[in-house]
Structure formats: C-alpha cells, structure tokens
Amino acid sequence: MGTVCRMPGVACDFYVSGHCLYEEELNPGLDESFHCTEIVRIVAAYEELMNRADGFNLSGDKAFNVIFRLMEGVPPAGSACEEYRPEGGCRGCGGCAGEEDDGAPESIDCTHSLGGLCILRLPACEGVCRRFRFRTEQPSES
C-alpha cells in the first residue's frame, strides 16, 4: 500500500517560503521566538546607547552625534546570524550582486526577513491542514 501525503500548502494565505504564518497572524508579535535576531540585537544595542546618552543628560544634536558614532562600533547586520542572506546576493564577492561591500548595510536586508520576523523561525508548513485558507492575492514578485 502507498503512503498518503498531504497536498502542499503553497496556495494558502499563511504560506511563506515553506513556513506557516498562521500563529503570527493570529497574535502578531506575541511569540518573540519568531523575531529576527539581528533586528533584536541591533535595536537592543541602540536602546542601550540611548540610555547611556540619557544618563549623561545629552540632548539634541550632541546625543545624536554620540549615538551615531557609537553605533558604528556595533557589528553590522548579519554578523551574528548564520542564516543571514542579503537580498540580491552577497556583496563584495565579485559574483552575485557584484556590489562593493561598504561594511555598513543601511538596513536588515535579509531575504528571510518579513516585517521584523525571520521566516526560518516560523513553524514549517506541513501542507494543507485545517487552517488552510486559499490565497486571496497573488504574492508580489519584488
């Protein structure tokens, strides 16, 4: 006898690159384990620097300049995540995107990032299940 398999969930509204977005859609932001660790790390470093600036009673431009200089010492996006993949490929390797690496990414441009979440940290899609809902819109090709 053959094995019965589930149909793939690629046509489901909650399907994102082989993972299920249902739990996050149900309670947005509740499960912190879905959050991008790079965003969490960089925001925590920024908040720590803000608290330091507040401790020295710095205000306005002085605080901004001090925080800006100190943020340059924070390791760039992707340096603490093995799964980090810049959109368009790796910069500075001579292949992929072919851009020179300036060492200062302007944002978390990881292909696995979705609005502050890491797609890889979401539960894997097991195929069509009781939560399956037909996709209402076609995914954008951007």
pLDDT category, 59, cuts 50, 70, 90?
confident
Q: Which long-range contacts (CB under 8 A, 24 or more apart) does 132-139 make?
A: 132/9, 132/12, 132/14, 133/12, 133/13, 133/14, 134/11, 134/12, 134/13, 135/11, 135/12, 135/13, 135/15, 136/13
Q: Is the pLDDT of residue 43 over 60?
A: yes
pLDDT band at 91 (very low <50, low <70, confident <90, very high): low
pTM across the whole model: 0.71
